[in-house]
Amino acid sequence: MSEPTPAGGHEPPVTPVPAGVPDAPVPPAAAPEDAVPARGMRAIEAEHFSFLDAVGGVRGIVEAVLPGLLFVVVFVASGQQLRPALVAAVAAVVVAVVARLAQRTPVTQALSGAVGIGIGALIATQTGRAQDFYLWGLLVNAAYLVPFAASALAGWPLVGLVLGLFRADGPLQAEGSWSGALAWRRDPELRRRYTWATWLWAAMFALRLAVQVPLYLAGQVAWLGTAKLVMGVPLTALVLWASWILVRGSTAARPGPPRTRPAP
């Protein structure tokens, strides 16, 4: 069956394109309005880096900082009484989780903070020592330090393994695979940069332990709480940015396709 023609039975004239004139460029597709900002390690491979988005936005920062801040302030203001400080920290976490549930927003970040605060409060309640509120955080940093350092030494940097899961050809995508998650290992430059980024993360965990463990052993609760706040979100954001510089530097260094010039 022939294609329908306009009224009159004649095809519309087709304007020929002169030789040597390139096709009109196709505008890029607009980004979806509800695009989720790259957060955490996923920010390392984002096209543009945002300190605020990388650490969860303003709300994420408040949820991460407020419980620990309240613990230190109330502990000092109450004459170093443990119970009021624990109540203030736990209350801040409960309010954050309830608010997210009421607004039907993702509670993952708030719940992860709630678990740490809850475990710390439980340990401190059992021992009666305020510094034990931070014991769980020290153990978590030690637990992260070991695999990050070991993976970098073994040539399987953990930063690359984690980011590989979220790649377009990674196993978390509909058409991805585990082999796609490891495709970066065929790029020596990218593998080297992933290794350096992994060492950055290992250094962050080691630095936290080096500063905070002596304060914990000395029972310097106020200084320990202050160090934890300073070496928490701000230091994490700095390491994310430095990792982004390393990894994106590798991407930027790769030569792109040669540019074609229109004929004169």
Q: 10-residue block means of pLDDT along the chain (264 residues)?
A: 50 49 42 58 86 88 93 94 95 92 84 89 95 97 97 95 83 77 88 95 98 97 96 95 85 43 50
Q: Is-contact 107 97, C-beta < 8 A?
A: yes
Q: What is the pTM of this model?
A: 0.77
pLDDT value, residue 39: 78
pLDDT value, residue 213: 98
pLDDT value, residue 249: 64
Tell me the domain boundaries of the chain.
52-128, 129-253
pLDDT value, residue 174: 74
